[in-house]
Structure 1
Amino acid sequence: MQMITAEEKLKERIKELTCLYEVTSIIVNCDYDQVEDALKGILHCLQKAWLFSEAAQVKLISDQYNIVTPDFPDNPVSLESNVMVFNKKVGEIHVAYPRPKFSEDDFLKEEEKLLINVCLEVGNLLERKQIKDNEIIIKRKMERADRLGILGEITAGIAHELNTPLANILGFAELLKTRITQDTQASKDVDKIINSAIFSREVVKKLMFFACEMPQQMSLVNIGPIIVNAINLMEPSFKKKKIVHKLNISAEPILLRVDTIQLTQVIFNLVLNAIYFSPVKGEIKIDVEETKNMVEITITDEGPGIDRKISDKIFEPFYSTKPVGEGSGLGLSVVHGIVKSHKGAIKYKSNKPKGAIFTVDFPKI
C-alpha cells in the first residue's frame, strides 16, 4: 500500500465525515415506503468515502434486500460488517476492490470503523421500519376486528328478523301445496316458493354462523372420521373437475373439543372453495397435524390464488371473488366466525408457484 500524506489523511477523514452526515440525512428524511431507495443512496455514499472510490464497489445482502452496485467484482478483496436488527443479524454490507490490483492492505482502519457505524445506522433504520410495519399490521387487525364485530351484531339482528317471516312463507307454501291437486302449474310455482324459502333459510343460517348465534354443542371427539366423512361427501365435486385430492391425517385418534356440525361446515366451505378455483385435473391437499397444544388443518390448492390487494377482505361477509350469482360471499366469513368461536385462528398465504393455502388452528382447550 502506498504511503498517505497528512493532507491526504485529512481529505479521507473529511470524506468519511461527509459520508456519515449524508447517511444520517438520508435516514432522517427516509419515507418507510421507500427504504430500498434510501439503502441504495447509503451504498452510494459509502462508495464515495473510500480511499480508492473510483474502484470501490458495495453490496448489501439481507433477509429483505439484495442491493449491489453495478460493477461488483466476482472475486473481490472486501471489507464487511454485520447489520443487526434487535440484536439479531439480518444481513451484511460489503465494500470491495477487484483483485489482483488491490489487496486487504488497501483498506484503512478508519474505513473499517466507518463501515461499522454505517451498519449501525442501517440497522436502526430497519428496526424503525419493522416497528412501523408491526404498528400498521396491529392497526389493521384492530380495524378489521371492529368491522367484523359490528357486522356480526348487524347480521345477527337481520338473521333473527328474517327467521320468522321465512318460517311463515315455508309453512304456508307447504300447506298450500297440499290443497292444490288439479292445477299442475300452480303446484310447480308453489314448489319454487318452497325451494326459494329453503335457500333463504340456509343463507340465514350462514349469517347466524358468522355472527356465532347458532347454539354450539361442544364435545371432545376424534376429528379424523368427521373430516374423512366431510371430504367423502364432496366426492362428486372432485370427480366433476377430475381433481386429485390427498388427505394426510394420522390413523391415531386426534381428540379435539369442537362442535362437530360447525367443524364439518369449516371443512366443507374451505374444500369447496378450493374445488371451485382449482383447474381441471388439479390437486388439492388436506393436511391435519397435531401438536401438544394445537390441531392444524391446512388446505392447499393450485388455483389462481388471491390478489394481495384484497387478501385482507376475504373474511368479510358478502365479499366474494366469484362471479355474481355464484357466491353469497358468506363462506369464508362463516368459517372465520366458527373458528373464532372455537378460540382458533385462520390464515391465508399464497401457494408456490400458484394457488392458495388456508390454515386453521384449533387450540386444545
Structure 2
Amino acid sequence: MKNIPEYYKTKHVFRLVVGGIFVLLVLIIVLSFFTTQKMIKIIRNDFNTQQLYLANHAAAIIDKDFDILKSELLTLSLSPSIQYIESVSWRNRMEISMATIREYGVFRILLITAKGRSAYIVEDKGSVFQQDTDYSQSDFFIWCRDPNNHSKVYASSIDRKTANDSKAELHIKLATPVYQESPDEAHPLPTQKFTGVLVFLIKANQMAGRTIAPLRSGKTGYAWVIDQEGYFIYHLEHQFIGKNAFEARHLENPHISFDQINKIQQEKMLIGKQGTSWYSSGWHRGNKGPVHKLIAFAPAHMGADNFDHFWSVAVVAPISEVQDEIQSIYLRQALIQITFILVAAAIFFILRYYELIWVKDHVNQIHCESRELEEYARRLEDSEKRYRTLIESADDLIFVLDRKCHVMSMNQSWTRMTGQPAKSIIGKRLEDILKYDNGIRVNTFVEDAISQRYAISHDDPVVVNGNSYWFNTRYKRITEFDDQYEAKEQAVLVIARDITERKQLESYLLNAQKMSALGELCAGVAHEINNPLAIILGFTEMLLEKAASGTREHKILSTIERQGENCKQIVEKLLIFARIPAESTTSADVSLNLQRVLDVVSNTLLTEKIRLSIEIPDLLPKVRGDSQELEQVFLNIINNAISAMKDGGFLKVTAEHVLNEVHIHFEDTGTGIAPENFSRIFDPFFTTKEVGEGTGLGLAVSYSIIKKIGGEILVKNRIASDTQESGTTFSLHLPVAENRSTGIQMIAQPGDDYE
C-alpha cells in the first residue's frame, strides 16, 4: 500500500480491459438472445395460466347457471299449483318461472301428467297451451317415474336440431318428478302421489353464448365450447355450432394438420380434464392461414343425478401476439445495454487516470489516519455491544422516533412479539405499525415530549400485527449530536410495556360484576312477571271456552292468549339466562339431536334457497348436557344463519371428535357480523333484527346452556374482501360424557335416543 501498483501503468492491463469490454459486449448479445427465448416461454406459460383462469371462471359461471336452473326446477315442483295442476294458478306459476329463467336459454316449460299422455306448456314467447303427446316411453319420463329419483334432477344429452333460419339449435332437457306433497287450503292433507314430470327445455348454444360470447383473451383471443361427445356448442365461427369438432376443422381447411388439437380434445377435454397447451389452426377471426395458438381449457359440470354431463370450455389466442411484443422489447433493451457499456468504459478510463493521481497524493495520509480510526472503532464497538446487550434483552418495546414519528431504531422485543425483524420497520411511521383503537394521535405526544423536559405516560389499547394489546407507553425527549457535539436533531425515546394481562383481569372482574347484577335483575323481573302472566293466561282460557268460535271476541281472546304465550317464552329464556350454571349429569346423542333440528329446518332452507352440507361422522361419543337444551342451541344458531342469508347461500354443518370433546361447526355465507357488534353478540337483549323479529336472548341463552355443561362457544367472523366472501362460523366444543363409575367415554349406538 505504500506505492501505486505497477500493473495500473502497463499497456498489457489496458489491452486486457479493452478485450474484457469486447467479451462483455458479446456476452450481453448472447445472453439477451437466450434470455429473450426464455422469457418468451415464461410469458407464454403465464399468458396460458391467465387463459386457464378465464376458462375456469367461465366454466364456474356455467356451473352456477345450471345450479340456478336446477334450483328453480325443484322450487317450481314444490308449488301446490303444479303438484295438483290447479286449473288457474298452474299457468301463472309457470309464467313467473319463465320470466325468471328465460335469460338462461329456457324456451319451454312442460308439466307432463302422471300417465305421460298430455302436457301443459308455457313458452318463452308467451304461448300457453295443452298438448296431447305420448311421453310415457321417453327416457326422462321413465327415469323420473322411478320412486328412487324423488327430488332429483335428470339432464339429457344435447339434441341437435335445425331451426328455420338454418342455424344449428342445440336443445337439452332438465326434468324432475312431481309429487303431491305440499299442502294448501284445497289440499290440507297431501297424498304423496306421483303427479307427473316437470321439464325445462333449454337452448344450449344460447346458454353457453351468454357467458362465452363476451369473453376476450389478449387482443383477439376468444372462447369456444364442446360437449363430451366432441360437438361444438358455441364457437365464434357460427357455422361450426352443432358440428363434430374433429370433422369441422378438416372440412374448413383440409390442407392443415389438426392432430395436436384433436389429441388435446380426445385425451383431456372429452374426459373432463383442465389444462393448457398449444395447437395449429387454419384461421383466426376470419383470417385464413396457418396460425399457432395457445389454448387453456376447463370442464363445466351440469351436476345432474342421472349422469355426469359436462361441457369443456376452451380459451384460445395466437402465440404471435405474445412473442412479437417480447422480441421487440428485448431488442431495444440489448441496444440500451450495449450503449451503456460503451459509455461506462469511456468514463472508466477517464476516472482511472485522475484516480491514479489522487491515490498517489493521499495514500500516505490514509495510512496515518487508519491507525487512529481502528482504535476509535474498537472503543466504539465495545460501547455499542454494551448498549445493545442492555436494550435488546429488555422485555419492553424500546425505540426512538423523530419529530415526524418515523421509527429510527427498535429493539429485539419487536421480533419476539411479532416474529418480524426489527430492521423491517425502520423508517416507517409509528401509526402504521401500532394501531391505537381510540384514535390517539402519536404526533401529539411526540411534540409534547420534545417541547417539555419531563416524560409523558399513558395507557391505551393497541393493535400490533393483527393482535390486540394494552401498552403503558412513556415518551422522553433525547438530543442527537453531530461530530462537534453540537445539538443536531430532537428525537423521542419511547418505552412501551405490555400490560395486556393486567387489563384483561380488570375487564373480567368488571364484566363478572355486571353479569351477576344483570342475572339477579333478570331473575327478579321474570318472577314478578310470571304471576300476573299466569292469571292473564288462566282467565283468557276460561273466556275462550265461553266465547263462540269464529266471533270477534274469540279472535281477540286468541290474540291475547298467543301474545301471552310469547311473553311466557321470553320469561322462560330470562330464567334460563339468570339460572346459576350447574354441572350437567345427563348425556345426549349429539348426532341424533343435530339430525332432528336439521329435519325441522330443511323446508325453510329449501324455501330460502340455502344449500345445506352435512359432514357428521358415525358413532360420535355422547356429550354432557340435556338433549332438548342442545337442540335449542342448534336451532338458535341455524335460525341466525338463515336470517343472515336473505338472498340464499350455503350452510355447512360439520362435527368431529377431538380428544375429550365433540366439536360442531355451523358455517354460513351470510352478511357476517359488523365489527362494532362483535363483542356484544352474547349480551342479553342485544339484537340487530327489526323490532318484533327477535328478543336478543337466543345467543345469550345458548351461551348459558353451553357454559353450564362445561363447553365453549366460539365465533369466527369473515368480512367480504377480494380474497374471501363474508360469513360467520359458530363452533361448539362439547365435553364428552363419561360413565361416572368406570370413567369410560360413552359412544352413541344407532337407535339410541336420550332426552
Question: Structure 1 length as normaliser, TM-score?
Answer: 0.67
Instruction: Report the Cα distance in structure 1 between the residues aligned to 2:612 and 2:418, rounded to whole angstroms.
Output: 35
The one of 163, 167, 170 aligned to 2:534: 167
Name which structure has the greater RCO, CA cutoff 8 Å, separation 6+.
Answer: 1
RMSD: 4.1
The answer (yes or no) to whether the contact 1:279–1:302 under 8 Å persists in 2 is no
The one of 409, 414, 418 aligned to 1:45: 409
Shift of 1:325: 2.5
| Residue 342 of structure 1 pairs with residue 709 of structure 2 | yes
Instruction: Report the Cα distance in structure 2 between the residues aligned to 1:214 and 1:236, rounded to whole angstroms.
Output: 35
The corresponding residue for 2:288 is none
1:7-46 correspondence to structure 2 within 5 Å: 7=373, 10=376, 13=380, 17=384, 20=387, 44-45=408-409
Shift of 1:7: 3.5
Shift of 1:322: 2.0
The answer (yes or no) to whether the contact 1:212–1:341 under 8 Å persists in 2 is no
| Residue 354 of structure 1 pairs with residue 726 of structure 2 | yes
| Residue 271 of structure 1 pairs with residue 638 of structure 2 | yes
The answer (yes or no) to whether the contact 1:19–1:45 under 8 Å persists in 2 is no
Change (3 A) 1:258 1:361: same
Shift of 1:282: 1.1
Shift of 1:203: 0.7
Instruction: Report the Cα distance in structure 1 between the residues aligned to 2:584 and 2:597, rounded to whole angstroms.
Output: 18
Instruction: Report the Cα distance in structure 2 between the residues aligned to 1:30 and 1:251, rounded to whole angstroms.
Output: 51
Shift of 1:342: 0.9
Change (3 A) 1:268 1:9: farther
| Residue 256 of structure 1 pairs with residue 623 of structure 2 | yes
Instruction: Report the Cα distance in structure 2 between the residues aligned to 1:182 and 1:247, rounded to whole angstroms.
Output: 45
Aligned residue pairs: how many?
A: 293
1:312-331 correspondence to structure 2 within 5 Å: 312-331=679-698
Letter of the structure 1 residue corresponding to residue 735 of structure 2: P
Change (3 A) 1:29 1:213: closer
Shift of 1:154: 1.6
Shift of 1:241: 1.8
1:303-314 correspondence to structure 2 within 5 Å: 303-314=670-681
Instruction: Report the Cα distance in structure 2 between the residues aligned to 1:44 and 1:227, rounded to whole angstroms.
Output: 57
The corresponding residue for 1:6 is 372
- The structure with the largest alpha-carbon Rg is 2
State, as a whole percentage, how many aligned pairs show the same letter. 26
The one of 595, 598, 604 aligned to 1:237: 604
The superposition leaves residues 37-67 of structure 1 with CA deviations (integer Å, 9 ceiling, x where unpaired) of: 89x9796337xxxxxxxxxxxx979746574
The corresponding residue for 2:552 is 185
State the SS of the aligned residue for 1:234: helix
Letter of the structure 1 residue corresponding to residue 587 of structure 2: L
The superposition leaves residues 278-329 of structure 1 with CA deviations (integer Å, 9 ceiling, x where unpaired) of: 2523111222221231122221122222233332221110111223332211
Change (3 A) 1:64 1:242: farther
State the SS of the aligned residue for 1:252: coil
The superposition leaves residues 255-297 of structure 1 with CA deviations (integer Å, 9 ceiling, x where unpaired) of: 1121111101110111111111125231112222212311222
- Greater fraction helix: 1
Change (3 A) 1:257 1:69: closer
Change (3 A) 1:143 1:296: farther
Residue segments in structure 1 that go unaligned for 5+ positions in a row: 47-58, 72-90, 92-121
1:1-150 correspondence to structure 2 within 5 Å: 5-7=371-373, 10=376, 13=380, 17=384, 20=387, 44-45=408-409, 63=418, 67-68=424-425, 128-129=497-498, 132-150=499-517
Instruction: Report the Cα distance in structure 2 between the residues aligned to 1:37 and 1:233, rounded to whole angstroms.
Output: 62
Letter of the structure 2 residue corresponding to residue 293 of structure 1: N
Instruction: Report the Cα distance in structure 2 between the residues aligned to 1:228 and 1:347, rounded to whole angstroms.
Output: 21
Change (3 A) 1:298 1:136: farther
Letter of the structure 2 residue corresponding to residue 361 of structure 1: H
Letter of the structure 2 residue corresponding to residue 145 of structure 1: A
| Residue 152 of structure 1 pairs with residue 519 of structure 2 | yes
The superposition leaves residues 181-224 of structure 1 with CA deviations (integer Å, 9 ceiling, x where unpaired) of: 28811111111101100111111111122123799985223211
The answer (yes or no) to whether the contact 1:60–1:68 under 8 Å persists in 2 is no
